[in-house]
């Protein structure tokens, strides 16, 4: 249904609603947080939405809602963030961080679409994804949920994913609502302490954190989630400037805003800015939150506040209109059970997509010629993450979510670990496996056993990383070194002198200077989903070529953080006495099985097209991610040393050259000035294009902009 008709439909419903029915629409109930009887009571009251409920339980709630006076259907939300992963039959795709390594927006778009089909088949309507936070401090627990550190890349990938979830038409039977979260600057909390205060100015918010949300609005994202945390002491839940002025007036957002989990209550219990529930409910609603996640106490408090005049009916009507208009646009008011296809959950097509995605998410960072691994007769596969599907999946699957009681949940097939993938792919070799140690020393290590297993092998594949206990909400880390005996395991195996590839299977960058310097090859795999192990084995065998690039910089040492590439300059070298200024690996880095050379960088000031010639200088075909950066030479406020502004991929045969175009826009040249205005300041700009964000990898051209 188009926006105009949806608005009219919502208006006619609003006119018939009582205060209680309106406030109920603004209340989202956690199914896990109540008994079945309570859930049905909330449906009878007309609760606008439930989260974390599947299958028949959801159907029963919907039937109850449909039999109420106005029969407004319930909107069901779920965290389907890398697939419909809380359903154990679903296709489990790589994490957003892994998807971002592809630098291929088509990928999150396809994954978004596949996820939407699976969520819709389960009778649900709304995913709390994508995450548009930036991961500029890798100590943060939720790095895996992001598209990395860069605003431009996160915006491109996020907008594509939203288009996948929402399809061409929201009322298509297999479209679901997307949710741009967490609004805003959530990942920048001090000390990477989840949900703490963010000490950045509004200018910085606009410059760094807003662009991905702007892209989300351009993609017509239907909902936005208010972050936990606060901005310079004002809880985001109460931040009228960001929730109303910026989001609605400037970005033109027309959908509805949902708080994060129990944000209204947190105003009292965690943030201490409200005295009681009525106070918190009034302020959260007035600030621009339309729906309150999980805080059911909001209902009575807000009804009372409406009756005594503390909460204005105008504000309530605005919120309810936002919610009902989205429900109408989704087609929910006409088809509470949309006629979507069956058999899409975990189907073959989605599993094939999961494998493609895992392949594109792998980043080769070192290779002294060991890879591709040819002719090995006996391969040792060692390490705690070589055969651990939980670590491979990462956060937000049925293992980690309370909805499924993680302790009692067993992994469900199909999936392929690295060990299994190696067996599938290296059919002519003998594969020897030893775990060596745990990631967190939960069981005794057996380093000597691992060494004994590896002796006599032609190659070692050592799979290190982190576990699901070290990722996610409330799992921030103060130290990003490898934990347990993983470093010791690496050193003992290295001492054997057998060619060794280290695979880092982790939720985020870890500090691995020794492995980076001493291993013969290093592959970063992040959380690759159900086919992650298969993709890794294929890459090691040379059945696929590595195409991934880093969407996030790797620190040498935790104390060196932050190391994101788009920093502002200082004049004392930016290094510590005891640590270098440079990261271990920079944004955009990643090798292939061939090499590329760049030449002839040119810019057309009329069309704003940057062009560069790329030549495959190796002897096999390969795909290069051509990256463009920009620097404003003199600006009224300090601007980053470089800013990522465009990228494209090109596949070239050995020896082949092609000239590729990188379209820039006026916006690429803009900055946020001291008055918080987005402007282009005329003058000189340096345009750069090449293989990664490192100076040595870039050609540079000076241009003038009027
Ligand atoms: C997270 C959100 C999530 C919500 C619902 C919160 O704790 O911050 O990202 O969507 O829970 O599960």
Place of tokens 């880093």: 550
Pocket perturbation via mutation, ligand 1, pick of 119, 128, 144 by most ligand atoms within 8 A of CB: 128
Cα of 237 to ligand 1 centre, how many Å?
A: 14
Contact 417, 387 (CB under 8 A): yes
Nearest CA to ligand 1 atom 7: 261
Place of tokens 């989205």: 326
Q: If we measure between CA atoms, which residue out of 460, 464, 461 comes closest to residue 439?
A: 464
Q: How many CB atoms lie within 10 A of CB 353?
A: 22
pLDDT-derived band at 394 (thresholds 50, 70, 90) equals: very high
Q: Which atom of ligand 1 is nearest to the CA of 131?
A: 9
Cα of 31 to ligand 1 centre, how many Å?
A: 14
| 3-state SS, residue 544 | coil
Asked if the model's pLDDT at residue 406 lies above 80, the reply is no
Pocket perturbation via mutation, ligand 1, pick of 51, 79, 180 by most ligand atoms within 8 A of CB: 79
Nearest CA to ligand 1 atom 5: 261
Quick: pLDDT tens for 61-70: 999 999 999 9
Running DSSP on this structure, what letter comes out for residue 95? P
**How many residues can be counted in the chain?**
706
Quick one: average pLDDT of 651-677? 98
Pocket perturbation via mutation, ligand 1, pick of 260, 264, 291, 293 by most ligand atoms within 8 A of CB: 260
Quick: pLDDT tens for 8-48: 999 999 999 999 999 999 999 999 989 999 999 999 999 99
d(CA 281, CA 65): 24
Q: How many CB atoms lie within 10 A of CB 233?
A: 10
pTM, full prediction? 0.98
Cα of 40 to ligand 1 centre, how many Å?
A: 23
| Gap between the terminal Cα atoms of the chain | 43
Cα of 104 to ligand 1 centre, how many Å?
A: 26
Looking at the annotation, which residues are catalytic?
A: 260
d(CA 188, CA 455): 46
Percent of the chain, pLDDT > 70?
100
Q: If we measure between CA atoms, which residue out of 8, 55, 81, 79 comes closest to residue 329?
A: 8
d(CA 562, CA 32): 38
Q: Which atom of ligand 1 is nearest to the CA of 294?
A: 5
Cα of 463 to ligand 1 centre, how many Å?
A: 30
Average pLDDT, the chain: 97
pLDDT-derived band at 292 (thresholds 50, 70, 90) equals: very high
Q: Which atom of ligand 1 is nearest to the CA of 228?
A: 8
Nearest CA to ligand 1 atom 11: 261
Quick one: average pLDDT of 365-371? 97
Nearest CA to ligand 1 atom 6: 261
Q: How many CB atoms lie within 10 A of CB 177?
A: 27
φ, ψ of residue 282 in degrees (nearest 5) = -60, -50
Contact 259, 284 (CB under 8 A): yes
Q: Alpha carbon 256 to chain centroid distance?
A: 21
Q: How many CB atoms lie within 10 A of CB 543?
A: 13
Q: What is the per-residue pLDDT for 99?
A: 98
Quick one: average pLDDT of 260-274? 98
Asked if the model's pLDDT at residue 224 lies above 90, the reply is yes
pLDDT-derived band at 5 (thresholds 50, 70, 90) equals: very high
Running DSSP on this structure, what letter comes out for residue 34? S
Place of tokens 């200088």: 617
d(CA 511, CA 694): 19
Nearest CA to ligand 1 atom 10: 128
Q: How far is CA 11 from CA 321, 328, 335, 400, in A?
A: 7, 11, 19, 41
Cα of 141 to ligand 1 centre, how many Å?
A: 13
Asked if the model's pLDDT at residue 572 lies above 80, the reply is no
Nearest CA to ligand 1 atom 4: 261
Asked if the model's pLDDT at residue 519 lies above 90, the reply is yes
d(CA 322, CA 5): 13
Helices (runs of H) and strands (runs of E) counted in the chain: 21, 26
User: Which residues approach ligand 1 with their CB closer than 6 A?
Assistant: 79, 128, 181, 260-261, 473
Which residues have CB under 8 Å from 500's CB, separation 6+? 370, 459, 460, 461, 462, 493, 494, 519, 520, 521
Cα of 85 to ligand 1 centre, how many Å?
A: 14
Quick one: average pLDDT of 640-652? 98
Which sign, positive or negative, has the C-alpha torsion 365, 370, 374, 377?
negative
Q: Which atom of ligand 1 is nearest to the CA of 128?
A: 10
Q: What is the CA radius of gyration of the chain?
A: 26
Quick one: average pLDDT of 96-108? 98
Asked if the model's pLDDT at residue 102 lies above 80, the reply is yes
Contact 673, 636 (CB under 8 A): yes
């Amino acid at each position: 249904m188009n926006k105009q008709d949806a608005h009219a439909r919502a208006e006619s419903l609003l006119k018939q609603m009582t205060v209680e029915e309106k406030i109920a629409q603004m209340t989202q109930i956690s199914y896990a947080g109540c008994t079945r009887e309570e859930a049905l009571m909330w449906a009878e009251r007309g609760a606008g939405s439930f989260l974390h409920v599947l299958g028949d339980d959801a159907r029963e709630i919907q039937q109850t809602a449909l039999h109420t006076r106005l029969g407004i259907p319930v909107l069901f939300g779920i965290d389907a963030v890398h697939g419909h992963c809380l359903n154990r039959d679903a296709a489990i795709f790589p994490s957003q961080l892994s998807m971002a390594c592809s630098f291929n927006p088509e990928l999150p778009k396809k994954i978004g679409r596949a996820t939407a089909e699976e969520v819709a088949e389960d009778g649900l309507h709304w995913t709390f994804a994508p995450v548009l936070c930036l991961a500029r401090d890798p100590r943060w627990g939720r790095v895996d949920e992001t598209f990395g550190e860069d605003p431009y890349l996160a915006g491109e990938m996020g907008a594509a994913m939203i288009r996948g979830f929402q399809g061409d038409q929201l009322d298509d039977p297999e479209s679901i609502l997307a949710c741009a979260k967490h609004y805003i600057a959530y990942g920048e909390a001090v000390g990477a302490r989840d949900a703490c205060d963010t000490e950045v100015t509004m200018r910085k918010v606009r410059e760094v954190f807003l662009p991905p949300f702007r892209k989300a609005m351009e993609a017509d994202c239907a909902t936005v989630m208010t972050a936990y945390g606060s901005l310079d002491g004002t809880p985001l839940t109460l931040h009228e400037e960001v929730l109303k002025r910026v989001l609605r007036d400037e970005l033109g957002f027309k959908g509805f805003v949902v708080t994060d989990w129990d944000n209204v209550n947190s105003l009292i219990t965690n943030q201490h800015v409200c005295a009681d529930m009525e106070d918190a409910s009034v302020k959260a609603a007035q600030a621009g939150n339309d729906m309150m996640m999980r805080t059911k106490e909001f209902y009575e408090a807000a009804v009372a506040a409406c009756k005594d005049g503390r909460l204005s009916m105008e504000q309530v009507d605005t919120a309810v209109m936002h919610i009902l208009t989205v429900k109408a646009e989704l087609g929910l008011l006409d088809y509470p059970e949309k006629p979507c296809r069956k058999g899409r959950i975990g189907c073959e097509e989605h599993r094939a997509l999961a494998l493609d995605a895992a392949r594109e998410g792998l980043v080769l960072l070192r290779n002294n010629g060991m890879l591709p691994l040819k002719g090995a007769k006996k391969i040792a596969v060692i390490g705690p993450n070589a055969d651990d599907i939980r670590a491979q999946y990462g956060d937000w699957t049925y293992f980690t979510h309370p909805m499924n009681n993680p302790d009692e949940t067993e992994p469900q097939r199909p999936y392929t670990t690295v060990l299994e993938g190696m067996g599938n792919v290296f059919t002519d070799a003998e594969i020897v496996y030893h775990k060596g140690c745990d990631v967190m020393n939960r069981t005794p290590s057996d380093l000597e056993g691992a060494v004994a297993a590896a002796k006599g092998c032609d190659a070692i594949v050592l799979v290190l990383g982190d576990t699901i206990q070290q990722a996610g909400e409330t799992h921030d880390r103060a130290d990003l070194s490898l934990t347990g005996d993983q470093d010791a395991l690496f050193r003992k195996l290295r001492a054997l002198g057998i060619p060794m590839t280290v695979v880092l299977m982790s939720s985020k960058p870890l500090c691995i200077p020794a492995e980076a310097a001493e291993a013969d090859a290093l592959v970063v795999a992040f959380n690759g989903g159900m086919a992650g192990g298969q993709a890794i084995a294929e890459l090691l065998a040379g059945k696929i070529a590595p195409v991934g690039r880093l969407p996030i910089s790797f620190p040498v040492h935790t104390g060196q953080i932050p190391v994101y590439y788009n920093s502002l300059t200082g004049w004392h070298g930016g290094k510590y006495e005891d640590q270098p200024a440079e990261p271990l690996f920079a944004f955009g880095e990643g090798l292939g099985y061939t090499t590329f050379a760049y030449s002839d960088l040119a810019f057309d000031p009329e069309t704003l097209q940057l062009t560069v010639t790329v030549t495959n200088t190796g002897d096999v075909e390969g795909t290069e991610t051509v990256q463009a950066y920009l620097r404003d030479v003199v600006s009224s406020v300090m601007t980053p040393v470089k800013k990522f502004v465009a990228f494209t991929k090109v596949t070239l045969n050995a020896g082949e050259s092609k000239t590729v175009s990188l379209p820039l826009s006026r916006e690429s040249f803009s900055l946020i000035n001291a008055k918080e205005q987005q402007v282009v300041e005329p003058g000189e700009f340096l345009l750069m294009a090449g293989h990664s964000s490192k100076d040595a990898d870039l050609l540079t051209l000076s241009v003038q902009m009027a």
